Amino acid sequence: MKKYYVLFPNHINGLKLNEILRRENYKATIAPTPRELSTSCGISLLIREEDVENIRKIMEREHIETLGIASIEKYPDL
């Protein structure tokens, strides 16, 4: 199962996008950035796959600085 993370250069941009997404009724969760993606500030937004393209448009429209959206394969705990 893939998980999608919006990565940020600083936490302020992450908090700003989270607030915008909440206002626009998108589901996003503030999460620690996975080690595999650790080039960012330490927080990221975990988003749903079906929202990726709409969130990209929101980031562009709102001029939110990000390091992009990355996905990683997560396996269920055994």
Question: Each residue of 34-73: pLDDT tens digit?
Answer: 888 876 678 999 999 999 999 999 999 999 999 999 999 8
Question: How close are the terminal C-alpha atoms of the chain, in Å?
Answer: 14
pLDDT at 54: 98
CA of 62: how far to CAs of 1, 19, 76, in Å? 30, 12, 35
pLDDT at 75: 64
Question: What is the three-class DSSP state of 35?
Answer: helix
Residues 6+ apart with CB under 8 A from 3: 46, 71, 72, 74
pLDDT at 78: 47
pLDDT at 35: 84
DSSP secondary structure letter of residue 29 = E
pLDDT at 37: 82
